[in-house]
């Protein structure tokens, strides 16, 4: 038996075993990872589709730190960003106005809300010190901003300036 595994046979057998093990392991794992990646991609596409539908219907979209870049900075239309909080009475008073603006500007602009308690990093990044703070972001840049409860006409003027 020892004579069979002398010389060059041992490295060749070792190489064959390594290759077979690699193929067996990567083939099985690869299929499972591909299936998981497809599942994740499908969920993300469904969520994106739901948010696009909200915008097309003229609804306010709740945005988090995780999706701020995709929903706001990479948006194809100007975005009115409302930095808000559940405990803020002026924010609650502003909400019906934002709903009307979202409906009036459906397809031409997007209205999103960012909860400062859940997205404190975004609040810091944009210098939010008082709420409601409203920003108009176009092509990833702040083009207009205001603080406090504002009339509908003021917010529409801000959006109209970005739409052109």
Among 55, 80, 88, 94, the active-site one is 88
Residue 29 annotated in active site: no
63, 79, 80, 91: which is the annotated catalytic residue?
91
Handedness of CA 91, 62, 97, 81 (dihedral sign): positive
CA dihedral sign, ordered 69, 75, 78, 80: negative
Owner of token pair 């003021």: 154
Number of other residues whose CB lies within 10 A of the CB of residue 105: 21
Q: Tell which residue, 68, 50, 60, has the closest CA to residue 105.
A: 60
- The Cα-based distances of 7 to 1, 17, 80 in angstroms read 13, 17, 75
Catalytic residues: 88, 91
């Amino acid at each position: 038996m020892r004579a069979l595994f002398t010389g060059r046979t041992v490295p060749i057998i070792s190489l064959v075993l390594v290759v077979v093990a690699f193929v067996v392991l990567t083939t099985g794992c690869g299929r499972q990872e591909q299936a998981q990646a497809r599942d994740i991609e499908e969920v993300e596409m469904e969520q994106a589709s739901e948010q696009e539908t909200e915008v097309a219907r003229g609804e306010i979209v709740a945005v988090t730190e995780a999706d701020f870049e995709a929903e706001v900075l990479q948006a194809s239309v100007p975005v009115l960003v409302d930095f808000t909080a559940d405990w803020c009475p002026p924010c609650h008073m502003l909400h019906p106005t934002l709903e009307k603006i979202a409906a009036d500007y459906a397809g031409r602009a997007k209205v999103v809300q960012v909860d400062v308690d859940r997205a404190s990093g975004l609040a810091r990044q944009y210098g939010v010190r008082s709420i409601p703070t409203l920003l108009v972001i176009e092509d990833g840049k702040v083009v207009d901003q205001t603080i406090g409860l504002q009339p509908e006409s003021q917010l529409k003027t801000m959006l109209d300036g970005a739409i052109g």
